[in-house]
Structure 1
Amino acid sequence: MSFNENARLDSSRVSDRRGKGKGIAVGGGLGGGLILILSLIFGSDVVDGLGLSDGGSPAGAGSGYSESISECLDGADANERLDCRIVGTAESLDSFWGPALAAEGLSYSEPGVALFSGRTDTGCGSATSAVGPFYCPADEQTYYDTAFFDELVAQYGASGGPLAQEYVVAHEFGHHIQNLTGVLGASASDPRGADSAAVRTELQADCYAGLWAGNAASVPAPGSTEPFLAELTATDVQDALSAASAIGDDRIQSKATGQVNPESWTHGSGDQRQAWFMQGYDGGSIASCDTFSAPDLDNP
């Protein structure tokens, strides 16, 4: 999904903490950050208690790390650099979700967006790269170590295309929308299993990511008649679906252990994540993303 080259970016939208961590190595916690938002609700000591494994890319790895985020000025920069792409994606998501929630009689507040490397402090405790991208409801911020996107491709076989990366950002914003609408904590008493509230929470965030993707090219940027993003291509959609499939519980479990155990699922299968992304993308609405009422998560 390409940015319109003349779209103006506001680099202050994103807090750049890269290079300020403690040098912790990136572990194999792909997907851990996504379910982390459920446990973080219980208090700030949860993240500190996580067990971490060494290995993977060195802290600070990832596209655009050596460059200043203040250089992210326009859509052309977003097409070239991952960190600038996160800036533009966040602004596009703001442009979409403000009016979308207003139409439902709800107010939108922009979530924080922080880039970090190695380790960072959050309102939910100290977090490391090992947990992957995550949303902290205590400080209403989303967090990304840009090295994660390299891991997503190299270790889990997802596409490296732009919408694969933007999908991850949009998914975390989806958790913020759930926080604003009061459903984020629904999985606290039902944290795992193929039909659990935890899985329904994650699939709804996927649907919200698809809802944004399907509308992003028609929502103008503030003060402009032109949207941040150009029309999606079939390749763009396949890139997003590739990422959604790669972080399905079945794919991660099979890769890690050679077995699949639906009773321990927290995010849903790769097929389910793809299906709910498309539910939002194909002319969906906030109401059509109600995974909590869906009788069959395999068939939205």
Structure 2
Amino acid sequence: MSFNDDVKIDSSQVGSGGSGGSPGGMVVGGGIGGIILLIIALIFGINPSDLPTNPGGGSPDQGQVQPGGTEQDSELANCKTGADANKSDACRVKATVLAVNTFWSQELPKYKREYTPATTILYNGSTQSQCGTASNQVGPFYCPLDKQVYIDASFFQILSDQFGSSSGPLAQEYVVAHEYGHHVQDILGLLDEAQKDPKGEQSGGVRIELMADCLAGVWANHATETKGESTKGGDVAFLKPLTDKDIKDALSAASSVGDDRIQEKTQGRVSPESWTHGSAEARQRWFTTGYKSGDLNQCDTLSPDTVE
């Protein structure tokens, strides 16, 4: 799903962090942080039991925004229009963050909830969050303690090369929209459901993740209607109309991060009792539910007897 060339890209909602050096101790802590990070540990072949569970090793500071000097910093600085976003991953993330924040800022008030835009830290190597160290061994996550999303710049390439995900635009935009689904859940007071029952096919952890997939689908449904400022004056939709290929790209990304797919690849067997995010099939199905309905109310994964 490509951005309209003329839409302006605001620079205030994405910062850069990290310098590519060796990451410090991986720290998992703070509300939902550990649940979101757990599956990413599996992606990189890390035994989740080896992850620290207290915040002692990480700085409590928010992701540090670094001055220019890397190729990524240059991409972000030069990312000013939709045409720029169609040319680079870093700029696409920046544009997607703006599009997603704009949509939820308009949507949540319909449910009597105010939406506060969340910032994304797009980093290289490692940086600090209040949930601990974000590194290229962790992958994307939402930290509820500092209300920020953290994405390593190399993640999309890893997802494509190692796990067979499509590298198409909506595959990348889905990842961003999923993490912002967690921010919406945070605002709605739902994140604690994952901590109450973190593992298993029907667990709270899985239900929260599948809900975030559904919320990403809701955004995708409305993405071509959500408007930003045009370089030519007036308003223009952030994104061009979706194609069948766009949807296949998003479903490919959702499938590639299913618990069963990841476990099969990393440990050679599937163990549903330890699932935290849901199967490939369920992740695709709930994204599709959100996309086809465009309705936040259809993303209730907490009430059904089964979600798998």
Specify the TM-score bucket, using the shorter chain as the normaliser.
0.7 to 0.9
1:75-116 C-alpha deviation (Å, 9 max, x unpaired): 000000111101110111011101110000000001111011
1:112-162 C-alpha deviation (Å, 9 max, x unpaired): 110111111111122222111000000000000010110000000000000
Match of 1:238 in 2: 248
The verdict on how the C-alpha distance between 1:241 and 1:6 changes in structure 2, with shifts beyond 3 A counting, is: same
Match of 1:248 in 2: 258
**Deviation at 1:297?**
1.2
**Residue 141 (structure 2) pairs with residue 134 (structure 1):** yes
Aligned residue type for 1:158? S
- Aligned equivalents of 2:122, 2:166: Cα separation in 1: 21
Match of 2:15 in 1: 15
Aligned residue type for 2:222? N
Match of 1:53 in 2: none
1:29-73 C-alpha deviation (Å, 9 max, x unpaired): xxx987238999x8634879xxxxxxxxxxxxxx96373411001
- Within a 5 Å distance, the mapping from 1:38-77 to structure 2 comes to 44-45=55-56, 65=72, 67-77=74-84
Aligned residue type for 1:22? G
Q: Secondary structure at the match of 1:154?
A: helix
Are the counterparts in 1 of residues 213 and 283 from structure 2 also a CA contact under 8 Å? Answer: yes
**Deviation at 1:177?**
0.4
Structure 2 residues not aligned, in runs of 5+: 27-32, 40-47, 60-69
Q: Secondary structure at the match of 1:217?
A: coil
- Aligned equivalents of 2:58, 2:209: Cα separation in 1: 19
Match of 1:57 in 2: none
- Aligned equivalents of 2:127, 2:109: Cα separation in 1: 33
**Residue 294 (structure 2) pairs with residue 284 (structure 1):** yes
The verdict on how the C-alpha distance between 1:271 and 1:47 changes in structure 2, with shifts beyond 3 A counting, is: farther
Aligned length: 277
**Deviation at 1:12?**
2.7
Aligned residue type for 1:126? T
Q: Secondary structure at the match of 2:236?
A: coil
Match of 1:52 in 2: none
1:247-292 C-alpha deviation (Å, 9 max, x unpaired): 0000000011221110000000000000000000002311110000
Q: Secondary structure at the match of 1:97?
A: helix
Match of 2:106 in 1: 99
- Aligned equivalents of 1:15, 1:37: Cα separation in 2: 25
RMSD: 2.6
* TM-score, with structure 1 as normaliser: 0.86
Are the counterparts in 1 of residues 75 and 91 from structure 2 also a CA contact under 8 Å? Answer: no
1:183-211 C-alpha deviation (Å, 9 max, x unpaired): 01111121100000000000000000000
Percent identity, aligned pairs only, is 45
- Aligned equivalents of 2:137, 2:35: Cα separation in 1: 12
The verdict on how the C-alpha distance between 1:18 and 1:121 changes in structure 2, with shifts beyond 3 A counting, is: closer
Q: Secondary structure at the match of 1:2?
A: coil
1:152-177 C-alpha deviation (Å, 9 max, x unpaired): 00000000000000000000000000
**Deviation at 1:22?**
2.6
The match for 1:206 among 208, 213, 221 is 213
Structure 1 residues not aligned, in runs of 5+: 49-62
Q: Secondary structure at the match of 2:223?
A: helix
* TM-score, with structure 2 as normaliser: 0.84
1:223-259 C-alpha deviation (Å, 9 max, x unpaired): 7431111111000000000000000000000011221
**Residue 156 (structure 2) pairs with residue 152 (structure 1):** no
Match of 1:272 in 2: 282
